[in-house]
């Protein structure tokens, strides 16, 4: 391990220069992966725009029944046409959405905590690779707690998931966790997203922050940005627009879609911004036209 004393601050991110190792395959950092991995990534990232709108509804794995997600069986079929990927647990997906309606699947494979605890940073790998294969998962999502009590075990989980994924050509989505007491600075996200990418994840999920463009530039695989706590629709659309402008490869949005008064219209507006280049103002206008809000 390098001596940390006198460490220089990283600053040469060259955001204006596109990522170099593309050579034909459009998903960042995936050029040297095999056909099966690329196929799964193509299911997640739209080949025309290169981006994705993931709909996150895995909250039940530690929050139980969540406002807006009370009836997955009613919500998921309605949203399916307007998002690229469903991010959820195997229990939610198998029980509540018909295979023919399901989009690409980001399968949550870690578990072990509940919102009743103070420290949520200790999880286990709860899904066998065989079950991810049976569900034809397009990626496996693992929570990773950099700088928290559970860092070592979460990196151990992540490594085991990535190793299994490499055997069967299933990408891993490393979810950068932010606990109650964890920093949300660009310094933290540059550290955490890079560790997760260098572990071998093909996709990283993270959060918006100051200097997000530097976080995205320094991460050699696509970053999808979580929506986070519920915001007014106008602000959530701004978040989507802003992170895409700064180099995100998509959003992984939950509450800002399923807790909206109009979840379907919100998913449609987010998709227009992510895939069709609408500005946030245009996305908002589109949303208002649909909902008469
Ligand atoms: C992440 O670990 C969570 O389970 C959610 O998938 C994630 O936070 C995205 O949902 P939201 O946009 O509601 O934050």
Provide the pLDDT confidence category of residue 159 given band limits of 50, 70 and 90: very high
- The active-site residue, picked from 38, 51, 190, 205, is 205
Q: Which of 250, 254, 263 to mutate to test the pocket of ligand 1 (most atoms within 8 A of CB)?
A: 254
pLDDT of 70 strictly over 70: yes
Domain range annotation of the chain: 35-232
Across 32-59, average pLDDT: 97
In testing the pocket of ligand 1, which one of 226, 257, 266, 270 has its CB within 8 Å of the most ligand atoms? 226
Q: Is 205 a catalytic residue?
A: yes
Centre of ligand 1 from the C-alpha of residue 268, in Å = 19
Q: Whose CA is nearest to atom 3 of ligand 1?
A: 59
Distance CA 144, CA 81 (A): 30
Q: What is the sign, positive or negative, of the torsion defined by CA atoms of 51, 228, 210, 223? A: negative
Whole-number pLDDT of residue 293: 67
Nearest to 38 by CA among 139, 106, 162, 134: 139
Q: Establish whether residue 190 lines the binding site of ligand 1, counting it when its CB lies within 6 angstroms of any ligand atom.
A: no
**Mean pLDDT estimate for the chain:** 95
Residue keyed to tokens 């949005």: 253
Q: State in words which class domain 35-232 has.
A: alpha beta
Q: Is 4 exposed, middle or buried (0-12, 13-18, 19+ CB in 10 A)?
A: exposed
The better pLDDT of the pair 6, 17 is held by: 17
Mean per-residue pLDDT, 100-105: 95
* H or E element at residue 183: none
Supply the pLDDT for residue 181: 67
Quote the strand ranges of 79-219, DSSP E. Answer: 85-88, 104-108, 110-111, 124-125, 139-144, 172-176, 203-206
Question: pLDDT above 90 covers what percent of the chain?
Answer: 83
Quote the CA–CA distance of 284 and 180 in Å, as a whole number.
Answer: 31
C-alpha 169/C-alpha 139 separation (Å) is 9
* 123-144 per-position pLDDT tens digit: 999 999 999 999 999 999 999 9
- Measure CA 174 to chain center: 8
């Amino acid at each position: 391990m390098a001596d940390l004393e006198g460490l220089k601050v990283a600053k040469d991110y060259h955001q204006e220069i596109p990522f170099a190792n593309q050579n034909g395959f459009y998903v960042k950092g995936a050029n040297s992966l095999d056909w099966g991995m690329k196929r799964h990534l193509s299911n997640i990232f739209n080949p025309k725009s290169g981006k994705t709108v993931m709909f996150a509804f895995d909250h039940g794995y530690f929050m139980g029944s969540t406002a807006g997600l009370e009836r997955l069986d009613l919500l998921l079929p309605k949203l399916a046409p307007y998002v690229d990927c469903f991010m959820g647990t195997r229990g939610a997906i198998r029980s509540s959405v018909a295979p023919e309606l399901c989009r690409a699947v980001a399968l949550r494979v870690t578990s072990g905590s509940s919102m009743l605890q103070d420290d949520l940073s200790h999880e286990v790998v709860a899904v066998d690779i065989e079950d991810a294969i049976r569900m034809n998962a397009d990626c496996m999502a693992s929570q990773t707690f950099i700088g928290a009590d559970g860092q070592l075990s979460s990196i151990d989980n992540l490594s085991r998931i990535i190793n299994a994924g490499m055997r069967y050509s299933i990408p891993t989505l490393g979810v950068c966790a932010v606990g109650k007491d964890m920093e949300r600075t660009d310094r933290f996200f540059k550290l955490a997203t890079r560790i997760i990418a260098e572990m071998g994840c093909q996709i990283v999920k993270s959060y918006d922050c100051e200097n997000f463009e530097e976080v995205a530039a320094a991460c050699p695989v696509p970053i999808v940005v979580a929506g986070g706590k519920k915001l007014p629709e106008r602000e959530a659309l701004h978040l989507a627009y802003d992170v895409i402008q700064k180099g995100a490869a998509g959003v992984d949005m939950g509450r800002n879609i399923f807790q909206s008064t109009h979840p379907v219209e919100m998913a449609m507006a987010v998709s227009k911004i992510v895939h069709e280049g609408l500005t946030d103002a245009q996305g908002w206008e589109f949303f208002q036209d649909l909902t008469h809000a």
